[in-house]
Amino acid sequence: MAIQFNFVSSMLILVLLSISSVEGQGGGGGGVIDVVAKFGAKADEKTDLSKPLLDAWKEACASTSPSKIVIPKGIYFLSTATLDGPCKAPIELQVQGTVKAPADPGAFKEPKWIAFNRIENFKLSGGGVFDGQGTTAYKREGCKGHDYCGSLPINLRFDFLTNAMIQDITTKDSKQFQANVLGCKNITFEHFTVSAPDESPNTDGIHIGRSDGVNVLNSEIKTGDDCVSIGDGSKNLVINGVTCGPGHGISIGSLGLFKNEEPVDGVTVKNCTMTNTSNGVRIKTWPGAEPGTCSNIHFEDITVTNVSSPITIDQKYCPWNKCKINEESKVKLSNISFKNIHGTSARPEAVKIICSATLPCENVELADIEITHSGPTGPAVSQCSNVKPKVSGKQNPAACSAPIPAKPTPTA
């Protein structure tokens, strides 16, 4: 993993150097394209940025030399935009201002606001903000507690990108996921900021699916759902230096709900901090349902503060009782480690590893766990089912020492 990560990083640096050298380049187009100066965009919060942005993208995409599109400082209104590739040369979109979405969820015909599609050698940067204005959507009936709100727009979609860097960008108050990564290869989020209130439903910070080589580095995520959620087909992921809270922690899954899910293989979560979250690090799969595999997962050097469920494998994941709770999960989990995880738990169940009875977890490791809980219900406990973990170093609570209750506490 480390060798691959370094190679990917080196390739990205070379790409980004070529992008950052666009100023002053001549033939074949390229150079700096200012959406205000060249295409008449207005930072008045009412004139739609869509046409100027798409016109700038069309010019940049046709250029045979690297281009940089600039959205200058100011507050802009953008109805929707899909920026399509393939393009002839690297492109950087530098957002210096704040771009606002329509507040009314009914303004969207598709579940997306801004989408980047089938682009190679792309950078999104500039310190700007994408504001989804999702407050009204959070109160929409049917979105809290029993529905996915799937028709609501995602702030930023990254679909089928190759060699991309998302750096120094903020997404806030999306009506659904903040950022969605699908079918990408070698994409890095660095100094990526997510901001949404704790009560915002289904607003995962970054959702990753069917992508190879995704890095989430040195980022701050505050939201109402998973800070990072990892879906099927995800391979070679590195999540390092992420601070999470509020939110539901960093989660793999849920897996096993749909037919033909692809394996999850190779995820490293390291040097992360969870504060006041409902979960810390977690793998969740549905009981019954469909088969799948999840392997080579490593959680290391994690700090938890007042986290309800710091360490979780939940193969009985059943939100809102929408599953076959009496059946066993068909997702096979193997080669999983939890190392140097320390801090405080908001509930007694600091460690909860509930595996499938028909496909027990294999090669699970618990090393140097130090999680305390103080409250009327007693000290922290460690619960295990259908797993025999390898244990080393300090174990507080003692590994797998507590019985599993008849009805385990459900996870969000």
pLDDT digits (tens, 9 = 90+) for 46-57: 999 999 999 999
Q: Which of 369, 372, 366, 370 is nearest to 353 (CA)?
A: 366
300: Cα within 13 Å, side-chain hemisphere: 11
Kindly report, residue by residue over 46-90, the tens digit of the pLDDT. 999 999 999 999 999 999 999 999 999 999 999 999 999 999 999
Are the CB atoms for 199 and 222 separated by under 8 Å?
Answer: no
The dihedral built from the CA positions of residue 17, 19, 23 and 27, taken in this order, carries a sign that is positive
Proportion of the chain above pLDDT 70, given as a percent: 89
Residue 12 has pLDDT above 60, yes or no: no
> What pLDDT, on the 0 to 100 scale, is given for residue 136?
85
Q: pTM above 0.85?
A: yes
Residue 7 has pLDDT above 70, yes or no: no
At residue 141 the predicted structure's pLDDT band, cuts being 50, 70 and 90, is low
**Euclidean distance between the first and final Cα of the chain, in Å?**
30
| Mean pLDDT of the 123-140 span | 93
Cis peptide before 125 (omega within 30 of 0): no
Kindly report, residue by residue over 355-392, the tens digit of the pLDDT. 999 999 999 999 999 999 988 888 999 999 999 999 99
Q: How far apart are CA 164 and CA 16, in angstroms?
A: 9
> What pLDDT, on the 0 to 100 scale, is given for residue 4?
43
**Domains of the chain and CATH, by start:** 226-402 (2.160.20.10)
Q: How far apart are CA 366 and CA 83, in angstroms?
A: 45
> What pLDDT, on the 0 to 100 scale, is given for residue 19?
45
Lowest model confidence (mean pLDDT) among 25-34, 106-115, 371-380: 25-34
Better-scored residue on pLDDT, 105 or 405: 105
> What pLDDT, on the 0 to 100 scale, is given for residue 83?
98
| Mean pLDDT of the 391-409 span | 87
Place of tokens 């309800």: 308
At residue 318 the predicted structure's pLDDT band, cuts being 50, 70 and 90, is confident
Residue 217 has pLDDT above 60, yes or no: yes
> What pLDDT, on the 0 to 100 scale, is given for residue 187?
98
Q: Which of 105, 20, 136, 3 is nearest to 70 (CA)?
A: 20
Are the CB atoms for 93 and 115 separated by under 8 Å?
Answer: no
| Mean pLDDT of the 190-217 span | 97
Residue 34 has pLDDT above 50, yes or no: yes
> What pLDDT, on the 0 to 100 scale, is given for residue 378?
82
Q: Catalytic residue at 191?
A: no
**Burial (CB count within 10 angstroms: exposed 0-12, middle 13-18, buried 19+), residue 326:** exposed
Query: Tokens in use for 228?
Result: 């990072």
The mean pLDDT of the chain is 91
- Given 146, 191, 207, 248, the catalytic residue: 248
At residue 324 the predicted structure's pLDDT band, cuts being 50, 70 and 90, is confident
Are the CB atoms for 154 and 202 separated by under 8 Å?
Answer: no
| Mean pLDDT of the 294-315 span | 97
> What pLDDT, on the 0 to 100 scale, is given for residue 403?
86
